[in-house]
Chains A and B, each alone.
Chain A
Amino acid sequence: MTAIAAPHRPTQTHADVTRDVIGTLRTPSRGYYLALFGAIAAFLVGLVTFVLLLKDGLGLAGYRPPVMWNVYITTFVFWIGIGHAGTLISAILFLFRSPWRTVVYRSTEAMTVFAVMTAALFPIIHIGRQWVFYWLLPYPNQRFLWPNFKSPLLWDVFAITTYFTVSTTFLIVGLIPDVAAVRDKLSGWRQAIYRMLSLGWTGANSQWRHYTRGYLYLAALATPLVLSVHSVVSWDFAMSIVPGWHGTIFAPYFVAGAIYSGIGMVLTLLIPLRKALKLEHMLTDYHFDNLGKLTLLTGSILFYAYAMEYFVGWYSSNTFEQTTFWKRAFGPLWWAGWTMIICNAGVSQLLWFRKIRTNLTAMFLISLFINLGMWFERFVIISSSLSNDFLPYAWDNARVNWADWGILLGSFGWFLMFFLLFARTFPVVAIQEVKEMIPYPRKHPGGGKEGGH
């Protein structure tokens, strides 16, 4: 078995990094335009569906009592989860000084911002009267509404808006030195735009002094934030008494699932992107091996959480809990329940093998299974639990119709559209952070400490 070279000391020079990364901003290929066109078309499908929902109301979607949280809330949790891997890689692994994150973190952070932007649409779509969405934020209550100020849904509003603001800020702050590097390599009107966006960055010691400290504190604040956001999302469910939701395991279970699904999406995006942008020499086996290990870790936590859910359901001696979990495995939605278990708990276990972790075709396929499995996980948790709550006479199965699929498809289009536009406008590899790992040349080789953290 060949060892995977850990590029702590990459063979590239600073000039190579600038050239290769700025090279990704050259005129896009036909494939790029096709992908962008596809994304915009999917987004338009979602937009048309949304207009119809505005006109005719939520009855168009598959909402039938008792399943009043369905595909839209499932997809909301799905997209929020996707964002978490980006912040894990950009903030948590930054604090851990993990060397492999430098090449991947920019694209994952952009993914975070766009995923949260996508997720934030769903509560608004779901509420029905979308034109009064600002009622979600009842502080200060100058409209004299009658909200439940103690509702976990209110926590969610604060968590999501904070997460969106902070992750966007983190992305923009990280981009400033790189935008300056792009500015210095361009000319004409494009240079003028990047000059404006670079905010006068020159890389002077007096700028780095404040920048590096500020970035460190932003990472330190983003770390508890990312762990809190999916905990809060999980409490939307766990704070209620619906069978299958009311569990103390929910916060860590959701956070692990979020990171797992996020890395799945990172892999789905990075593997084609690496080829399209000719970054094969920068994004190597080493990075995919590490992403694979992280997927294995979070996938195994999920495996444990699934087992615990079933165990606690049985051990609770509560008929409703037991029925819910029995129905998840053998009820009308058995196929969704097993898709979730096989794609998440099962497929992730393949990553024990390094050969699989470094085989990009296998990793891409696994990432698709992760995306599928994690969407189904949320669907199973939300829709199957609601379909069997405390009033057996009201039990009914979850329904999904064209209005649900239209919005779901539109959300993928919306997300991919922004991601593709970003990838051609800004450096998808953090030039500055990769350079930090590469020592400057020396007059007297061997003397002094070399670069890196």
Chain B
Amino acid sequence: MARRPVPGVLASFVNVDSVTEAIRDLKSRGFRDLTVYTAAPNHEIEQVLDEPVSWVRAFTLIGGLVGVTSGFAVTIWTSLDWPLLVGGKPIAAVPPYVVIAFELTILYGSLCTVAGMLFLTLREKLRGRPYLPSFSDDRIGVFVPCAPEQVESVRAVLQQAGPEEVSVHAG
């Protein structure tokens, strides 16, 4: 199912300082919903965009806690449910189960981190926004969603920063 294209202006840049200049200018004019495409994470652009830290860490923490709890729970509960006396040790001996709880902390923590990355990324409003294959190569893309009456002013701001090309996308 094709998503409705988002109307706006897309610019392709070669220089990173042009991009930061354009972002600063756009933000000062009240455009906050910007999409910047880069082939690798770039700290300069991150700094200018100044976005909040991702909530992935919450998923990692929850996964880890679920892992450690379930690790101890499944081992202790199974031992008590099927009591086998080995070497005169307690039925539910905690030290040997620490290793299992540790491994499950890592396992669930990692899987929840990946689930969190996918979930949070899917929630981002990226559908219908234009993209060019050169953005995964050596160009930096900036897409500014805007209403038709704002197109000219956005285009002027982007042009001033010195892009390689600018295109207008109708909704």
Contact = CB atoms under 8 A, between A and B. Distances in A.
A392 interface: no
Given A441-B16, A443-B15, 11 more contacts: A150-B86, A162-B104, A162-B107, A181-B136, A181-B137, A204-B36, A210-B54, A217-B109, A435-B39, A436-B42, A444-B17
B96 interface: yes
A214 B115 CA distance: 10
A448 B17 contact: yes
Contacts of B129: 204
A233 to B, nearest CB: 12
B170 interface: no
Contact of B131 (A154, A202, A221, A442): A202
Contacts of B53: 213
Interface stretch (A12-20, A109-117, A121-129): A12-20
Interface in B82-136: 82, 84, 86-87, 89, 93, 96, 99-100, 102-104, 106-107, 109-111, 113-114, 116-118, 120-121, 124-126, 129, 131, 133-136
Contacts of A177: 39-40, 136
Given A139-B74, A214-B116, A436 B41 contact: yes
B54 A214 contact: yes
Given A140-B77, A214-B114, A228 B138 contact: no
B10 to A, nearest CB: 12
A60 B89 CA distance: 37
Contacts of B14: 440-441
Nearest to B38: A203
Interface stretch (A75-83, A141-149, A270-278, A362-370): A141-149
B89 A150 contact: yes
Interface string A182-202: 011100000000000001101
B54 A209 contact: yes
Contacts of B46: 205, 208-209
A144 B15 contact: no
B158 interface: no
A138 interface: yes
Contacts of A211: 41, 117, 121
Nearest to A211: B117
With a 10 A CB-CB cut-off, give which of B46, B93, B107 has the most chain A CB atoms. B107
B57 interface: yes
Contacts of B117: 173, 210-211, 213-214
A242 interface: no
A181 B134 CA distance: 9
B51 A205 contact: yes
Contacts of A202: 37, 126, 131, 135-136
A15 B137 contact: yes
Contact of B41 (A200, A208, A218, A443): A208
Nearest to A14: B138
A439 B45 CA distance: 12
A158 B41 contact: no
Contacts of B159: none
A409 interface: no
A184 B96 contact: no
Contact of B82 (A141, A151, A207, A439): A141
A177 B60 CA distance: 21
A166 interface: yes
With a 10 A CB-CB cut-off, give which of B77, B93, B117 has the most chain A CB atoms. B117
A138 B42 contact: no
B43 interface: yes
B40 A221 contact: no
Interface string A1-16: 0000000000001110
A166 B111 CA distance: 8
A141 B36 CA distance: 52
B119 to A, nearest CB: 9
A226 to B, nearest CB: 10
Given A150-B86, A207-B124, A447-B17, A224 B138 contact: no
B39 A181 contact: yes
B135 A169 contact: no
Contacts of B15: 440-443
Contacts of A166: 106-107, 110
A180 B15 CA distance: 22
Contact of B138 (A15, A225, A448): A15
Contacts of A439: 16
B69 interface: no
Contacts of B43: 449, 451
Interface in A151-168: 151-152, 154-155, 158-159, 161-162, 165-166
B140 interface: yes
A433 interface: yes
Interface in A421-453: 431-433, 435-436, 439-444, 447-449, 451
Contacts of A138: 78
Interface string A96-123: 0000000000000000000000000000
Contacts of A13: 138
Contacts of B99: 155, 158-159, 228, 232
A161 B89 CA distance: 27
A206 interface: yes
A100 to B, nearest CB: 17
B149 interface: no
Contacts of A150: 86-87, 89, 93, 96
Given A202-B131, A206-B124, A214-B117, A14 B56 contact: no
